[in-house]
Structure formats: structure tokens, C-alpha cells
């Protein structure tokens, strides 16, 4: 059966050249990067080369990159590394759970911080004015994501960075879904901390990085050796780091070699075709600035889960605008925060394109979608009443 994987915001496949770059670091070059003999020197050099590549993707110095176990750890390190009891933090209602649940923990009595969750408008955009209005004398950190994982919406991080700089407040941005899709320049954003994750840019799962602006006082979360300049203890995941470095190079090249535009064209064709074919569909955040690979589309009167399963049976992998929590299907907090009804949020699907996708993948989706949507809508008493 032909298959098409269109769920690249969940994870991306390793690219062959990334695997090739990693391969020597499993067997031949196995040294601990902290060892002083030549085995250690070899892997230390590889780790530092990868650090340069990641820094080049973000527009910072290599010494400002801290390797982590992924986006979740990078977000947690930024949040818990900066805040102290009694601090106030500003974040948004549409952050990834790696930020939202870290902020919930901050609010617990044992930690003792206050958190303001700024709302979003109908396009899922945060207003910089709301962020400014939420500032308090004890605000220590603003954490607003660069690109949303469900809608792909790019937040006005440059404006928020300027507000944070003016107020002398730390600014963290979760750029896990922006890396490789939108140019990132930490100097322009004026952020102090920025998270990325390897497996969203065709590197391995379980590797990521946090940019920490020089001079930022960051309390580590892990205690042990003085790895990563005492910001993240633990023997480095050398192969993972090398893969992240290679993936960062490829992500950077994508902006000049036409790859990002090719992905945008695939996404735009998918979107145009779906909105032109079906009634009662629409693109969530369709008129907001978005990363070029993501499309969140509602198919009214269809249960998103059912559509995902039906498409999977025909070889196409996508995801829903819902998450399964405690056994129940909860509508996405992102889609409901932007004002979608729970039904429309549950009827939403996320399509996300990656570097490995071709035109044939989109063709496959578009060839099976009409019959699948029609069949599911036939079963819907609501749809039959609505039309």
C-alpha cells in the first residue's frame, strides 16, 4: 500500500544524511566527550562542531547553546532555571504542555510563583499589548512560543521581545515548531532563551537545545558534573548532538535552496484543494502569519478521530485537533482558546508537511479524502440535518 506521512509536527523521520553523520559516533568514535584521551577529544570536537551548526541556525554564539534531551527539557530548563519563589510569569493560553504544565507547577504552593495566561484572538494570535498590560513589578519571565504546533501560527515575538527588553524581563520563546520553517535570529527577537527540538527537524527523538543568552543567570535543573558549562549535567548524547548539528545545517540550507518554498507549495496546494472541494470546511488561523508546512482544517460534522483512523487505514497519517486525556477526547486547548466550539475543534485535522514529502503524498491524500469525508458525513445525523 502506498503511504503518506503528513504528521511532521508530531515528529519527522531522520534524514539519511543525518543518520550518516551520526553513524561513526555509535561504534568507532564512542568516547566520553569529557575524557582527555584521544577518544574523548574526537567526540568533544564533534560536539563542538554541532554546537556551531545549531548556533548558526539561531544566530547566536556556540557558547550560548545548551544541549538537552529535547524540547520539553529545554522549555523546563528555561522556566525553572530563571524563576524564583514570588516571581510573576507571563505566558499564553496556547503554549505546548511543556510550557503550560511547567507554569502550572510554578503556581503550586511549594514553588510559589504567579502566572498570567494571556488570551489569543480568533486567529490564535497573542496581542503584544496584552503582554505589556500583564507586566507587574515582580514579572521575571515572559514565555511565548514562536510557532504553534497545531495551527502553525507565528506569534509576534519581535514585538514581545522589545516589550520584555524595555521592561528588563527575561523572554523565553519555544521555537520547537519554528526551527527550519521560519528564519530565527535571537538578536532580532531579543529573546534570552529559545528552545528547539531535534525530532521536529529530521534529527533523532530525545535531543534538543536551549539558547541561553550570554550573562543569563540560569539555575540548572540537573545536578552532577559540570557538563554544558554547568548548565546541564550529564554525559553528552554525542550521536544525538551530531545528528542535531547536521539537521540544523540542513534546516538552515532549506531557506536558500528552495526546500522551504517547496514545502509551502505542497501545503498550499493541499489547503486550496480541500477548501475548494468540500463544503463546511475551513482553515483554522488561515489569515494569520503561519509557518509554511502546517495546516489545521475543520471538517464540520465529522469526528476528527474517526477521520484520522479512516485515513490511516488508507495509508495517510495525519493528526487531530484533540488530545486524549484521562480516557476522554478533549478538544484542543489551542483551538478552543481561539474561539472554536468544542465540536469544531474535535472536527479539526492537522496536516503537516516535511522535507521527505513529495507531490505524490499530497495526491494520495487528495485522492482518498472525498470518499472518506462523504462516508463519515453520511453517518452523521447532524450533517444530514445541517444541509
Active site residue 301: no
Q: Which of residues 179-208 bind ligand PLP (CB under 6 A)?
A: 197, 199, 208
Considering only 72, 76, 116, 357, the residue that binds ligand PLP (CB under 6 A) is 72
By CB under 6 A, tell whether 143 contacts ligand PLP: no
> Three-state SS string across 334-369, please?
HHHHCCCCHHHHHCEEEEECCCCCCHHHHHHHHHHH
Considering only residues 44, 51, 88, 96, which one is a binding residue for ligand PLP as defined by CB under 6 A?
96
Q: Which stretch binds ligand PLP (CB under 6 A): 70-78, 105-113, 157-165, 221-229?
A: 70-78
Q: What is the b/e burial string over 303-324, where b = at least 16 CB atoms within 10 angstroms of the residue's CB?
A: bbbbbbebbeebebbbbbbbee
DSSP annotation of 71: H
Distance between start and end Cα atoms, the chain: 35
Q: Does 83 bind ligand PLP (CB under 6 A)?
A: no
Using CB under 6 A as the binding rule, whether residue 319 contacts ligand PLP is answered as: no
> How far apart are CB 157 and ligand PLP at their closest, in Å?
13
Q: Which of 8, 42, 139, 149 binds ligand PLP (CB under 6 A)?
A: 149
- By CB under 6 A, what part of segment 324-383 binds ligand PLP? none
177 contacts ligand PLP (rule: CB under 6 A): yes
| Residue 152 lies near ligand PLP (rule: CB under 6 A) | no
Judged by CB under 6 A, does residue 98 bind ligand PLP? yes
* DSSP element (H, E) containing 329: strand 328-331
Grid cell 527577537 is found at 189
CB 277 to ligand PLP: min, Å: 29
Contact (CB, 8 A) for 218 and 231: yes
Minimum gap (Å) between residue 178 Cβ and ligand PLP? 8
The rounded distance, in Å, linking the Cα atoms of 387 and 156 is 39
Count of CB atoms situated within 10 Å of the CB of 1: 6
The number of C-alpha atoms within 13 Å of 134 and in the hemisphere containing its C-beta is 26
Measured CA to CA, the distance from residue 176 to residue 195 in angstroms comes to 6
For position 150 contacting ligand PLP by CB under 6 A, the verdict is no
Stretch that binds ligand PLP, among 55-63, 67-75, 153-161, 242-250 (CB under 6 A): 67-75
List 145, 212, 263, 337, residue binding ligand PLP (CB under 6 A) = 145
* Closer residue to ligand PLP (CB): 12 or 149: 149
* Sites for ligand PLP among residues 156-175 (CB under 6 A): 174
Task: Map the footprint of ligand PLP across residues 204-223, applying CB under 6 A.
Answer: 208
Starting from the edge strand earliest in sequence, which strands make up the sheet with 294-299, in order?
Answer: 281-283, 294-299, 348-352, 319-320
With contacts defined by CB under 6 A, how many residues of the chain interact with ligand PLP? 14
Site string for ligand PLP, 275-314 (x = CB under 6 A): ----------------------------------------
H or E stretch at 294: strand 294-299
Task: Determine the Cα–Cα distance for residues 115 and 108; give it in Å rounded to an integer.
Answer: 10
CB-nearest residue to ligand PLP? 71
Q: Could you tell me which of 142, 147, 211, 144 has the C-alpha nearest to residue 173?
A: 144
- Cβ atoms of residues 208 and 68 within 8 Å: yes
User: Per CB under 6 A, does 318 bind ligand PLP?
Assistant: no
Nearest alpha carbon to residue 120 among 89, 91, 140, 78: 91
HEC string of 148-177 equals: CCCCCEECCHHHHHHHHHHHCCEEEEECCC
- Asked whether position 176 contacts ligand PLP by CB under 6 A, the answer is yes
Indicate whether 71 belongs to the interface with ligand PLP (CB under 6 A).
Answer: yes
Which residues are known catalytic residues?
A: 324
Enumerate binding residues for ligand PLP (CB under 6 A): 70-72, 75, 96, 98, 145, 149, 174, 176-177, 197, 199, 208
Amino acid at each position: 500500500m502506498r503511504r503518506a506521512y503528513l504528521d511532521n509536527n508530531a515528529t519527522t523521520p531522520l534524514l539519511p544524511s543525518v543518520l550518516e553523520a551520526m553513524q561513526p559516533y555509535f561504534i568507532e568514535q564512542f568516547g566520553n566527550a569529557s575524557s582527555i584521551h584521544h577518544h574523548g577529544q574526537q567526540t568533544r570536537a564533534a560536539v563542538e562542531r554541532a554546537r556551531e551548526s545549531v548556533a548558526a541556525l539561531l544566530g547566536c554564539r556556540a557558547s550560548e547553546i545548551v544541549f538537552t534531551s529535547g524540547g520539553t527539557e529545554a522549555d523546563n530548563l528555561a522556566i525553572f532555571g530563571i524563576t524564583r519563589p514570588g516571581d510573576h510569569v507571563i505566558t499564553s493560553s496556547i503554549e505546548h504542555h511543556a510550557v503550560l504544565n511547567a507554569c502550572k507547577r510554578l503556581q503550586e504552593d511549594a514553588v510559589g510563583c504567579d502566572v498570567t495566561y494571556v488570551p489569543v484572538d480568533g486567529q490564535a494570535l497573542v496581542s503584544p499589548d496584552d503582554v505589556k498590560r500583564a507586566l507587574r513589578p515582580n514579572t521575571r519571565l515572559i514565555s511565548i512560543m514562536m510557532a504553534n504546533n497545531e495551527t502553525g501560527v507565528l506569534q509576534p515575538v519581535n514585538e514581545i521581545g522589545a516589550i520584555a527588553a524595555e521592561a528588563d524581563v527575561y523572554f523565553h520563546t519555544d521555537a520547537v515548531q519554528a526551527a527550519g520553517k521560519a528564519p530565527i535570529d535571537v538578536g532580532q527577537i531579543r529573546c534570552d532563551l529559545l528552545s528547539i527540538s531535534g525530532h521536529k527537524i529530521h534529527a533523532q527523538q530525545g535531543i534538543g537545545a536551549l539558547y541561553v543568552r550570554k550573562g543569563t543567570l540560569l539555575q540548572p535543573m540537573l545536578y552532577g558534573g559540570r557538563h554544558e558549562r554547568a548548565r546541564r549535567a550529564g554525559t553528552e548524547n554525542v550521536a544525538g548532538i551530531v545528528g542535531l548539528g547536521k539537521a540544523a545545517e540542513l534546516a538552515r540550507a532549506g531557506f536558500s535552496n528552495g526546500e522551504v518554498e517547496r514545502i509551502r507549495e505542497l501545503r498550499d496546494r493541499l489547503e486550496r484543494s480541500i477548501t475548494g472541494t468540500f463544503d463546511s470546511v475551513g482553515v483554522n488561523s488561515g489569515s494569520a502569519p503561519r509557518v509554511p508546512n502546517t495546516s489545521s482544517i475543520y471538517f464540520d460534522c465529522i469526528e476528527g478521530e474517526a477521520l484520522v483512523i479512516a485515513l490511516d487505514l488508507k495509508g495517510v497519517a495525519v493528526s487531530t485537533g484533540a488530545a486524549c486525556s484521562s480516557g476522554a477526547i478533549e478538544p484542543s486547548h489551542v483551538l478552543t482558546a481561539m474561539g472554536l466550539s468544542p465540536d469544531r475543534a474535535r472536527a479539526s485535522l492537522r496536516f503537516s508537511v516535511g522535507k521527505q514529502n513529495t507531490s505524490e503524498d499530497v495526491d494520495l491524500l487528495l485522492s482518498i479524502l472525498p470518499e472518506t469525508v462523504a462516508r463519515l458525513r453520511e453517518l452523521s445525523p447532524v450533517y444530514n440535518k445541517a444541509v
